[in-house]
Amino acid sequence: MMKHRYRAYGTAVIASAALLSGLGVSGTAIAAPAVAHSSGAASLDSARGGTSGDRQDAAAERRNACAIRALLSRGFADPSSSSARRLAAALVAPGAVGHGTGATSGPEGLLAQFAADRKRVPGAHAVVKHLAADGDLVAVHWQIAPDPRDERRGEAAVDLFRMRHGKVVEHWSLDQPIATGTPASGNTNTMFSDLYRPAKPTKAPSERQEERNRTFAVSAYNTLFRDHDVSVLDRSFDPAYLQHNPVAPNGTAALKQLFGSGAQFPAQQSVISLSDGDIVWTFSQTVGAKPGDPLLAADLFRVDAGLIREHWDVVPTS
């Protein structure tokens, strides 16, 4: 859990100046570490949030976060360039596993994803909205944006990276198109904005508090989406919590109505989770999923004063 979390607000395009020098990365690839990993999220230790790294090593987490920012800021703009290939070779292990349909391994696999993103959204910029580093994991919530000033166009994405010895050894990616027009729910919040303001200023949570927030939010998620127990909405959510999924309005009333409607939902649970600052990230799979099965969704929950106050998600459409 990084003591100094990274967050880009509004329309700020991710900056790359000094990132590579801070990482000590030159045009020469550093030696690749041995890659040992599970073949999918379902086999990970979900109680620990899927990390085997040290959640107290803030220095390593900062380095990991800088590496991912460098890949997005320098690699996304022109994935076919020689500079992007050198950077990817320096920061992605040759055997790095890419999860997802059609994903390929190693540095070229990540650059191929960037190229595919740019093909779907011509002229796209990578605009980071939230970023977390926790243990050996880095997660980034970002917009594939044709116009960095407009949060209502392009695609919303969450990418998850496992790091070892400063290199990516495992990677998951989720994205969905940003809906256009006014949704039926009437919710006009964008999929990225930060709207919650506490009643009084609060200091950044300690690492111990971040871990309490993680277990709290994961428990709330599993109680609702695995156990379908709507009473958790009264215990763990602010009744007026801010919703960034356009399908639902702000507040818990819509969720109570949805889960109380008698509709049948497949049980799903968090299998990977991170906590950084006041935001907890969960990555979910269907209960009983096999190793290698895809992640269903990425959810971000802002936790303050013992309640979930704000929520973002990315749910792939296929």
Every domain range in the chain assigned CATH 3.10.450.50 = 6-25+40-177, 207-314
Q: Give the C-alpha distances (Å, rounded to integers) separating 294 from 100, 262, 291.
A: 6, 27, 9
CA atoms within 13 A on the CB side of 77: 13
pLDDT at position 202 is 85
> How does 69-78 read in b/e, with b if 16+ C-beta sit within 10 Å?
bbbbbbbbbe
How far apart (Å, rounded) are the C-alpha atoms in residues 233 and 54?
32
Please check whether residue 168 is in contact with residue 162, taking contact to mean a CB–CB distance below 8 angstroms.
Answer: yes
pLDDT at position 138 is 98
How far apart (Å, rounded) are the C-alpha atoms in residues 188 and 185?
9
Q: Domain 207-314 maps to which CATH number in 3.40.50.360, 3.10.450.50, 3.40.50.12780, 3.30.465.10?
A: 3.10.450.50
How far apart (Å, rounded) are the C-alpha atoms in residues 33 and 199?
47
Please check whether residue 316 is in contact with residue 174, taking contact to mean a CB–CB distance below 8 angstroms.
Answer: yes
**Cα distance from N-terminal residue to C-terminal residue, the chain:** 31
Please check whether residue 151 is in contact with residue 274, taking contact to mean a CB–CB distance below 8 angstroms.
Answer: no
- Locate 248 and state its tokens: 């639902």
Residue pLDDT tens, the chain, 318 long: 554 333 332 323 333 333 333 333 433 332 333 333 333 554 456 678 888 888 888 899 999 999 999 999 999 999 999 999 999 999 999 999 999 777 889 999 999 999 999 999 999 999 999 999 999 999 999 999 999 999 999 999 999 999 999 999 999 999 999 999 889 899 999 999 999 999 888 889 999 999 999 999 999 999 999 999 999 999 999 999 999 999 999 999 998 998 888 778 889 999 999 999 999 999 999 999 987 889 999 999 999 999 999 999 999 987
Beta bridge partners of 272: 283
Q: Which parts of the chain are beta strand (E)?
A: 6-7, 92-98, 125-134, 137-145, 155-164, 167-177, 237-243, 268-276, 279-286, 297-304, 307-314
Radius of gyration over alpha carbons of the chain, in Å?
Answer: 19
Residue 247 CB coordination number (10 Å): 14
How far apart (Å, rounded) are the C-alpha atoms in residues 40 and 17?
34
Please check whether residue 148 is in contact with residue 15, taking contact to mean a CB–CB distance below 8 angstroms.
Answer: no
CA atoms within 13 A on the CB side of 158: 26
Length of the chain: 318
pLDDT at position 200 is 87
Domain 6-25+40-177 top-level CATH class: alpha beta
Q: Which of 62, 117, 112, 70 is nearest to 91 (CA)?
A: 70
pTM over 0.85: yes
pLDDT at position 104 is 87
